[in-house]
């Protein structure tokens, strides 16, 4: 099956390219069940992109002959999610969010401080825990006809906190999402307050691994993800 999509300009992460979690979630929609998405290039905005779905259930995102991303099903995907964070604890943590009001990620539609219409997923350190958290009330426009947040927006909300979860107790380096694996276990209702949290898993040279989850207000895990972030060979200190 082939299809054509476009990532709207408003769904950026860096100033000039698509937010990685959102783009990964869009491509994952062409894969059955939990998916692993590898990002090969920055996601072009407002440009026609082709989706090529293979007989093996995998999907590729192409701009002409250039491979942008590829997805494959991972039906056995599991990740250990730490003990839940309550909404009030997440709200207190969000006050410690370290994203900057300027710079490459300041207008990210999920975590950008410079946007009034951002999701407001501002994950900050939770006192006494090795993780970050934020409350999140998805806007009605993120929902499908049943009132549940569309999967690509759940993927987007899972993405940004992984960066701050990785480096919650250290200087913020430059790094970019390279691979994102996620599953959605239960509907995420638009208009309801949720908690998004993220935690470090491993630092392996330039490859940095983190987990993330969306929780209901009572602590039920609704969605979970594993992120691989890649640091440039000569990473410079920069905040989001």
The DSSP output letter for 173 is B
Domain ranges, residue 41: 2-73
Please report whether residue 82 resides in a domain. Answer: no
Structure tokens at 41: 């290039």
What is the average pLDDT across 79-85? 97
What is the number of other CB atoms lying within 10 angstroms of the CB of residue 48? 10
42 and 97 inside one domain: no
- Output the pLDDT for position 1: 56
Query: Do 42 and 14 contact (CB within 8 A), yes or no?
Result: yes
Could you give the number of structural domains in the chain?
Answer: 2
Please report whether residue 237 resides in a domain. Answer: no
- Output the pLDDT for position 234: 66
Please report whether residue 6 resides in a domain. Answer: yes
Please report whether residue 78 resides in a domain. Answer: no
Per-range mean pLDDT, top range of 53-57, 118-122, 174-178, 235-239: 118-122
CA gap 33, 99 in Å, rounded: 32
């Amino acid at each position: 099956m082939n299809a054509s999509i476009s990532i709207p300009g408003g769904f950026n992460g860096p100033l000039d390219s698509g937010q990685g979690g959102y783009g990964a979630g869009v491509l994952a929609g062409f894969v059955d069940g939990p998916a692993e998405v590898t990002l090969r290039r920055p996601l072009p905005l407002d440009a026609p992109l082709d989706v090529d779905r293979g007989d093996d259930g995998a999907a590729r995102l192409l701009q002409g002959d250039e491979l942008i991303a590829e997805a494959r099903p991972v039906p056995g995907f599991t990740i250990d999610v730490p003990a839940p964070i309550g909404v009030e604890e997440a709200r207190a943590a969000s006050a410690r969010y370290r994203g900057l009001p300027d710079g490459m990620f300041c207008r990210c539609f999920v975590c950008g401080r410079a946007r009034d219409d951002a999701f407001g997923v501002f994950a900050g350190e939770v006192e006494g825990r090795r993780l970050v958290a934020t409350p999140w009330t998805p806007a009605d426009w993120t929902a499908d006809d049943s009132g549940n947040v569309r999967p690509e927006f759940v993927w987007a909300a899972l993405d940004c906190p992984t960066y701050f979860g990785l480096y919650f107790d250290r200087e913020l380096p430059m790094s970019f999402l390279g691979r994102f694996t996620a599953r959605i276990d239960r509907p995420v209702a638009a208009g309801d307050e949720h908690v998004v949290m993220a935690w470090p898993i491993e630092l392996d040279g330039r490859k940095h691994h983190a987990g993330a989850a969306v929780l209901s207000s009572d602590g039920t895990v609704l969605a979970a993800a594993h992120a691989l972030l890649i640091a440039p060979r000569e990473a410079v200190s920069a905040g989001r």
